[in-house]
Amino acid sequence: MENSMLIAYADGGSRGNPGPAGIGALLLREGETICTVSDYIGTATNNVAEYTALIAILEKALEMGCKQVEVRMDSELVVRQMLGQYRVKNEGLLPLFHQAQALVTRFEVFKITHVRREFNKEADRLANQAMDLAAR
């Protein structure tokens, strides 16, 4: 697994912003899902949930011995902040941004790409699944 580029999709959501929040992510190798994450994270904003999803899938990829990963997210804010195109102005996001940046340095190859929402449906479903289970 070390030498192959894995593709990760990550999404976070909040119902209320802030409100009940969940994250969803999946890791794929050659189009096949090899790992998923679906967690309720309590009350949070949408952007906190997005960063938490990114961190969760990066940690999972590292745990699995992955050295190369491309993350695809529909959060333009998170993607542009991670690429250095936007500054992190929100004090609440800074610790999450720094945590994500520290994880990224542990990969030989890291890419992050913005995708339209319709291309991130499975990660979105996993995030909503986590929020639905917590609402019961």
Beta strand 68-73 pairing with 5-14:
parallel
User: pTM for the whole thing?
Assistant: 0.95
Q: What is the pLDDT of residues 9-32, one digit of tens each?
A: 999 999 998 999 999 999 999 999
- Estimate the crossing angle of helix 46-63 against helix 94-104, to 10 degrees: 20
Overall number of domains in the chain? 1
Which domain does 32 fall in, by range?
Answer: 5-135
Q: What is the pLDDT of residues 44-103, one digit of tens each?
A: 999 999 999 999 999 999 999 999 999 999 999 999 999 999 999 999 999 999 999 999
Please give the structure tokens belonging to residue 41: 């994270």
| C-alpha span between 73 and 112 (Å, rounded) | 8
**Which CATH number is 59's domain given?**
3.30.420.10
pLDDT band at 3 (very low <50, low <70, confident <90, very high): low
Beta strand 5-14 pairing with 19-29:
antiparallel
